[in-house]
Amino acid sequence: MMNQVTLIDSGYDCWLGYKRIADSALRESYAQYGSRFVVIGGEGDGDENGEGLGASSLLRTAGKELELALSSMLGSVTRERVSGAGMVVAGTFGSSSAFESLAGAYEPAELGEEGYVIHSSEEDGCIYLSAASERGVLYAVFHFIRLLQTDQQLEGLRIQEVPRNGLRMINHWDNMDGSVERGYAGNSIFYRDGRFIEDKSRIRDYARLLASAAINAISINNVNVHRQESKLITDEFLPDVAEVAGIFREYGVRLFLSVNYASTIEIGCLDTADPLDSGVAEWWKQAAADIYRYIPDFGGFVVKADSEFRPGPFTYGRNHADGANMLADALAPFGGEVIWRCFVYNCLQDWRDRKTDRARAAYDHFMPLDGQFRDNVMLQIKNGPMDFQVREPVSPLFGGLTKTNHLLELQIAQEYTGQQRHLCYLVPQWKEVYDFDTYASGAGSTVAEIASGRLFGRARGGIAAVSNIGDDLNWCGHVLAQANWYGYARLAWNPDLSAEQIASEWIRMTFGRDEELERIVLDMLLGSYSIYESYTAPLGVGWMVNPNHHYGPNVDGYEYSKWGTYHYADRLGMGVDRTVRTGTGYAGQYHAPVAERYESLADCPDELLLFFHHVPYLHVLHSGKTVIQHIYDTHFSGAEQAAELLAKWDTLASRVDSGRFEHVRERLAHQAEHACEWRDMINTYFYRKSGVADEQGRTIY
Amino acid sequence: MMNQVTLIDSGYDCWLGYKRIADSALRESYAQYGSRFVVIGGEGDGDENGEGLGASSLLRTAGKELELALSSMLGSVTRERVSGAGMVVAGTFGSSSAFESLAGAYEPAELGEEGYVIHSSEEDGCIYLSAASERGVLYAVFHFIRLLQTDQQLEGLRIQEVPRNGLRMINHWDNMDGSVERGYAGNSIFYRDGRFIEDKSRIRDYARLLASAAINAISINNVNVHRQESKLITDEFLPDVAEVAGIFREYGVRLFLSVNYASTIEIGCLDTADPLDSGVAEWWKQAAADIYRYIPDFGGFVVKADSEFRPGPFTYGRNHADGANMLADALAPFGGEVIWRCFVYNCLQDWRDRKTDRARAAYDHFMPLDGQFRDNVMLQIKNGPMDFQVREPVSPLFGGLTKTNHLLELQIAQEYTGQQRHLCYLVPQWKEVYDFDTYASGAGSTVAEIASGRLFGRARGGIAAVSNIGDDLNWCGHVLAQANWYGYARLAWNPDLSAEQIASEWIRMTFGRDEELERIVLDMLLGSYSIYESYTAPLGVGWMVNPNHHYGPNVDGYEYSKWGTYHYADRLGMGVDRTVRTGTGYAGQYHAPVAERYESLADCPDELLLFFHHVPYLHVLHSGKTVIQHIYDTHFSGAEQAAELLAKWDTLASRVDSGRFEHVRERLAHQAEHACEWRDMINTYFYRKSGVADEQGRTIY
């Protein structure tokens, strides 16, 4: 059951803090349906059921959630044993004759393993929440609750939902010492001091939040798998892992582990990790068997290999297909999957070398292997070719790979987008990624169609993202950053949802019914990504942050580094020439007409200009401004807008509980101040270098 | 006794690895005097003495060292009970009639507490090592041993030595967790895991090395005194401190502790650290009494207050004299001293603000207090106004303060000078500091004369420096960095020694007698400071290092920081205007004619040009080169010379034991490579910014 410490003011409840509906008319209209409910097959331990199948943990979860939500929002609720008129009826299609009436209106076969139906019957005054699977029923329940949380009419509901992405995953970068790599919300909720945290109640609350937005997979340890974490797949920790997997199972979430590619050496007794060595393959087969003994529905492995000093098949002169397939063969008998990351590049680059281009690396490494991976392998590809910058083009592996299962990887954690101290609602960025047309098979070949597997008829596909949660009471460090977590999940279910629609849902569920508040917070959220971009690195060039921790402005922070992350600014101009004609050739990794658009200085979109071209400061953008004036203008206006975010929030003092109000206020005040740092450092840097004065004569130092 | 693990190849023995003298003629000539010795009063536990006073620990130390050195270098030695012809005779003047013959030649009163005489008598074939004090005898013994180590004639010796600086101190920045702030040679030799290290043998070996170069004071914990270290002055740790003090006492070294100014709050039960509060004063008096109960000859306190976030009297609206005097009054009854650091500045500066000047800070803070400090207070002043950069002007507090005791602070640890991975023999830099003429009372008012206290007739004075040692087997990380440790100590004794003289001594003592080796290592050492300066930050502007750890090039690393450390480079020029006429006024803190020299663009020395003036890149230096061409030329030649250091060392493969040879080689190879990084980053930065091409068309990226 959920953690009983529900501290509304802290934001701990996120979007599931079910408050009593204040509008009595609305509450009563909901009560027509919602004062009674039945979960068919979801009650107790099986033998108490009036009808249908024995109770399952997913249906038990659904029942408990319905009870909590309806009793909280409506004041009271009665749980029935059998279905009847004027109630909420939840269950799988085959479990009861109650659902027979739906058969005409819906096609259960189309719903698959996770789809569901929400139907209000005019005849018996019931609302049916039904699906082919129990997981579908759970999702229907959360959807139904959302309708109540967002003031929706319950009459005439004819909802049929099917997820667009099969895998909807969250990756944790948690270490067993309790730290979280790129974590900005406290420590791990899983580990402390090298062990699992004994009290698992927070994990249960987390699983519930994931299920509410239909996340169905999780990896619980950092892709950089250190010594202690390497042992998660051994008898030392598998009992704990199994316990955690059991909690997630009750919420329909499959558990994966990140594994150390060199496990055979580090925790086995072998002296090699060569994927073609039969001893290595045998070791992994045994390891898989051990894991499945503890966790029969174990999801599989997430692997970061040959990347940023992690071991991998390159050590043995093998390629990534060799490595991934070896692991895939070990997992296949049990139905497990390998998620193999494509974040592979030369991280010992020489800044003097303008030929090597990190942006090319993933494509150069993986395209030659297209079609060589097992069916239970999925390549996980970051949205852009670099590393979660505020603005990047989409990775050309999307549309490049056609014969390999793959996933889109996003980062909910705001590593380069304000680290949950700045407000930066990322759904607009993600929408641009999903909607990007690769033209891989003509117009309409969007990333959304590709990542799901649909465009190329792949059996597997989906989306993964790096978590932004930690053990801060409000989970995300910044209460408003919960919108990114929620938005990621909603978009994973349906990439056609708009950024505004998701934000509205989240605001109502999180802060309750208040039109003025909704208008203002919506405005803040929707503008925030653009505001953040405007006062940070300009025109797609990226980086310009402090090394290591990646927070705050530092124009040359990565300029003379080994990481392949340069802007090449001199006194005349800046940007990276990635054209085929005169540059690194990266632009040629795209299909026509995208390749041509990026190749062309005239056609390249302003926001990516410096990613693809080295131009003079006086180059004129499509906007009509010079590059240098654009930098000045966006940085002045960005800092102003950051200050306005604070001013807008301040109008809500009486509309938000003081705990969350003060917390958000403190973050926004920091952001406003820090945006001035960004403005001044970026403007000063480029003014000192270019010598071009601001047309408006504003203060540059 | 000394640690028996004498690993010559590791460099553990430093300059005291007494090897048998290979030249048999020389060995035999030394044996005329050195085959027998007596330490009068230094034998056993007192009742075994043939003559003079009871044995003291200093004389026991002297005797053991003489025995070890002579037996090792000459093959064997006999320790006599009474003096006689043809032997080495060590002891205090008054202890025996044997020294009466010296009375005519020397004036014991002039020798003071630490001076000594070394005299070879033609009449009785003895060499007399004598002094007014036992500590003087110990120093005479080490001096005598040095004569043997460096092939000096023993006939006709008429040496009289008196130290120029009363206090010759080493400051450790060791923390009790075992780390060393700004340490580049491993962990602390004093602490591990929050406690003292149980085995104190390494501390004893360290004390011996200090005594060999006449260091007479040490502070054993970081000036940034954290929670655990605050408790060093309590009963919890005083027994350990007393044990360590006892070891140092046997070598004539007085022990000091760095204290937390806010101890009354942090470890006392008071709620204030107001220096004028009687409870605070009383608390410190009691603390002092406790300390002296354990350590009757305790040196006193080192205090970093109101500096870089450390607490201090400013919190209570008091000044630094109030703070220092309160502590001084607590120590005075016991003969203790307060060493109060002047490293006080605004470390939350705004980089946009060109009026505030960190360089001014120490003078601005302390000059108004001149004359207000107790006699047992010494202000400790860093050599330059900033922070141990490779090139700074001398702090104007030297020559400014006339009525306050003060010390010169140097940094043996190579924080900004290559961190003991680069070879940088610092004695030439220190010589420039000592020899700098402040004109405080006319020509000849050098820092050496001021720091010693002599110029203004101060009762106390001297020199302190931040240690460069750690628990690396070779102590300093870089074997050749031992020369800085040794050189610091020798110069502290006598600032008139030349950098070459000290280096020669050190080379012979460390590597043995080999003219070719001496020639080459001397050349390497003497050139290294200038080489290091040439490929790092140019013309006195400083900084340009990576933040926090301070290693490696980063031109803008401190440019947009809060630390007051800027170069203000734009496309036209660079440097900080510190003139009185148009700048921060810092140049006016010096006496005439120094102030005028720095104020004048025409007269300012090239090497400090950018410290005092903001000039165009095309400004012509006294050297005839433009600033930008100077930058290019020095950086190209500096990197070349760094490569030559390696080449020179490589010629010594057969002349140095393989342990030390390979170790130094590895460091020099890194330096050569890293110097290229410096060259390329600095040159590229300024080329990109200035657009001025290198006259010689060399590669700039």
Per-residue pLDDT of B649-693, as tens digits, reads 999 999 999 999 999 999 999 999 999 999 999 999 999 999 999
- Any B CB within 8 A of A570 CB: yes
Average pLDDT over residues B108-127: 93
pLDDT beyond 70 at A52: no
Q: What is the model's pLDDT at position A597?
A: 98
Q: What is the model's pLDDT at position B5?
A: 42
Per-residue pLDDT of A265-285, as tens digits, reads 999 999 999 999 999 999 999
Using a 10 angstrom Cβ sphere, with 0-12 exposed, 13-18 middle and 19 or more buried, the burial of residue A317 is: exposed
Q: What is the model's pLDDT at position A440?
A: 98
State which residue of chain B sits closest to A690, comparing Cα positions: B571
CA dihedral A120, A126, A127, A130 (to 10 degrees): -110
CA dist B274 and B317 (Å) reads: 8
To the nearest whole angstrom, how far is the Cα of A206 from the nearest Cα of chain B?
37
The ipTM (two decimal places) reads 0.87
What mean pLDDT value characterizes chain A? 95
State which H helix or E strand residue B332 sits in: none
Q: What is the model's pLDDT at position A393?
A: 98
Q: What is the model's pLDDT at position B37?
A: 97
pLDDT beyond 80 at A51: no
| Banded model confidence at residue A49, pLDDT cuts 50, 70, 90 | very low
Q: What is the model's pLDDT at position A308?
A: 83
Residue of higher predicted confidence among B309 and B16: B16
pLDDT beyond 80 at A44: no
Q: How many CB atoms lie within 10 A of CB A402?
A: 14
**Helical H segments across B164-262, by residue range:** 201-212, 227-230, 238-249
Per-residue pLDDT of B129-146, as tens digits, reads 999 999 999 999 999 999
Out of A554, A571, A680, whose CB is closest to B688?
A571
Q: What is the model's pLDDT at position A42?
A: 67
Judged by DSSP in three states, B197 sits in coil
CA dihedral B211, B214, B217, B223 (to 10 degrees): -90
CA dist A645 and A661 (Å) reads: 13
Q: Which of A155, A308, A435, A666 is catalytic?
A: A308
The amino acid that residue A190 corresponds to is F
State which residue of chain A sits closest to B351, comparing Cα positions: A701
CA dist A134 and B426 (Å) reads: 76
To the nearest whole angstrom, how far is the Cα of A689 from the nearest Cα of chain B?
5
Give me B484's structure tokens. 């800085």
Please indicate whether, in this complex, the C-beta atoms of B689 and A688 are within 8 angstroms of each other: yes
CA dist B126 and B123 (Å) reads: 8
pLDDT beyond 70 at A53: no
Q: What is the model's pLDDT at position B307?
A: 86
Identify whether B415 is a catalytic site residue.
Answer: yes
CA dist B513 and A236 (Å) reads: 60
| Banded model confidence at residue B4, pLDDT cuts 50, 70, 90 | very low
Residue B685 with chain A: CB contacts under 8 Å: 556
Q: What are phi and psi of A553, to 5 degrees?
A: -75, 140
State which H helix or E strand residue B630 sits in: helix B627-650
Tabulate helix, strand, coil % of chain A (nearest 5).
40, 10, 45
Please indicate whether, in this complex, the C-beta atoms of B688 and A689 are within 8 angstroms of each other: yes
CA B573 to chain centre: 36
Region of B431 on the Ramachandran plot (φ > 0 left; ψ -120 to 50 alpha; else beta): alpha
Question: What percent of chain A stands above pLDDT 70?
Answer: 97
Question: What percent of chain B stands above pLDDT 70?
Answer: 97
Q: What is the model's pLDDT at position B310?
A: 86
| Banded model confidence at residue B52, pLDDT cuts 50, 70, 90 | very low
Query: Which residue segments constitute the domains of chain A, with CATH numbers given?
Result: 14-44+56-161 (3.30.379.10), 167-497 (3.20.20.80), 499-576+614-700 (3.90.1330.10)
Q: What is the model's pLDDT at position A289?
A: 98
Please indicate whether, in this complex, the C-beta atoms of A689 and B684 are within 8 angstroms of each other: no
Please indicate whether, in this complex, the C-beta atoms of A554 and B556 are within 8 angstroms of each other: yes
CA dist B532 and B549 (Å) reads: 18
State which H helix or E strand residue B344 sits in: none
Query: Mutate which of B570, B635, B698 to disrupt the A interface (most A C-beta within 10 Å)?
Result: B570
Nearest Cα neighbor of A155 from A308, A29, A17 is A29
Residues pairing with A463 in the sheet: A168, A408
**In chain A, what is the straight-line distance between the N-terminal and C-terminal CA atoms, in Å?**
57
Residue of higher predicted confidence among B343 and B5: B343
Average pLDDT over residues B557-572: 97
Nearest Cα neighbor of A542 from A488, A572, A580, A578 is A578
Per-residue pLDDT of B428-482, as tens digits, reads 999 999 999 999 999 999 999 999 999 999 999 999 999 999 999 999 999 999 9
Nearest Cα neighbor of A135 from A207, A227, A87, A189 is A207
Residue with tokens 């995300």: A476
- For residues A21 and A73, the answer to whether their CB atoms sit within 8 Å is yes
CA dist B9 and B332 (Å) reads: 46
State which H helix or E strand residue A184 sits in: none
Per-residue pLDDT of A467-498, as tens digits, reads 999 999 999 999 999 999 999 999 999 999 99
- Any A CB within 8 A of B570 CB: yes
CA dihedral A682, A684, A687, A688 (to 10 degrees): -120
Q: What is the model's pLDDT at position A372?
A: 98
Q: How many CA atoms lie within 13 A of B555 on its CB side?
A: 27
Average pLDDT over residues A508-521: 96
Per-residue pLDDT of A403-462, as tens digits, reads 999 999 999 999 999 999 999 999 999 999 999 999 999 999 999 999 999 999 999 999
Per-residue pLDDT of B324-345, as tens digits, reads 999 999 999 999 999 999 999 9
CA dist B641 and A224 (Å) reads: 41
Q: What is the model's pLDDT at position B55?
A: 54
For residue A593, whether the previous peptide bond is cis, meaning omega lies within 30 degrees of 0, is yes
Residues pairing with A303 in the sheet: A340
- For residues A276 and A329, the answer to whether their CB atoms sit within 8 Å is no
What mean pLDDT value characterizes chain B? 95
Q: Could you please report the per-residue DSSP string of A75-133?
A: S--EE-SS--SSSEEEEEGGG-GGGGGGGGT--HHHHTTT-EEEEE-TTT--EEEEESS
Per-residue pLDDT of B605-631, as tens digits, reads 999 999 999 999 999 999 999 999 999
Q: What is the model's pLDDT at position A102?
A: 86
pLDDT beyond 80 at B47: no
State which H helix or E strand residue B338 sits in: strand B337-341
pTM, rounded to two decimals: 0.91
CA dist B522 and A80 (Å) reads: 95
| Banded model confidence at residue A310, pLDDT cuts 50, 70, 90 | confident
Using a 10 angstrom Cβ sphere, with 0-12 exposed, 13-18 middle and 19 or more buried, the burial of residue A697 is: exposed
Give me B610's structure tokens. 């950018």
CA dist B95 and B540 (Å) reads: 54
Per-residue pLDDT of B354-368, as tens digits, reads 999 999 999 999 999
Residue A688 with chain B: CB contacts under 8 Å: 569-571, 689
| Banded model confidence at residue A9, pLDDT cuts 50, 70, 90 | confident
Nearest Cα neighbor of B575 from B536, B531, B543, B548 is B543
* Cα B377–Cα B379–Cα B381 angle in degrees, nearest 5: 165
**Helical H segments across A515-584, by residue range:** 515-535
Q: How many CB atoms lie within 10 A of CB B73?
A: 20
- Any B CB within 8 A of A692 CB: no
CA dist A378 and A356 (Å) reads: 27
Out of A553, A569, A701, whose CB is closest to B688?
A569
| Banded model confidence at residue B124, pLDDT cuts 50, 70, 90 | very high
CA dist A639 and B22 (Å) reads: 75
CA dist A375 and A165 (Å) reads: 17
Question: What percent of chain B stands above pLDDT 90?
Answer: 93
| Banded model confidence at residue A109, pLDDT cuts 50, 70, 90 | confident
Please indicate whether, in this complex, the C-beta atoms of A570 and B688 are within 8 angstroms of each other: yes
- For residues A331 and A337, the answer to whether their CB atoms sit within 8 Å is yes
Say how many residues make up chain A. 701
Per-residue pLDDT of B409-431, as tens digits, reads 999 999 999 999 999 999 999 99
Per-residue pLDDT of A219-233, as tens digits, reads 999 999 999 999 999
State which H helix or E strand residue A341 sits in: strand A337-341
Q: Could you please report the per-residue DSSP string of A159-175?
A: EEE--S-SEEEEE--B-
Identify whether A387 is a catalytic site residue.
Answer: yes
Residue with tokens 């306190």: B301
pLDDT beyond 50 at A568: yes
CA B484 to chain centre: 8
Q: Could you please report the per-residue DSSP string of A345-402?
A: --SS--TT-SS--GGGHHHHHHGGGTT-S-TTEEEEEESSSSSS-SS-PPPTTBTTBS
Q: What is the model's pLDDT at position B106?
A: 87
Q: What is the model's pLDDT at position B107?
A: 83
Per-residue pLDDT of B149-166, as tens digits, reads 999 999 999 999 999 999
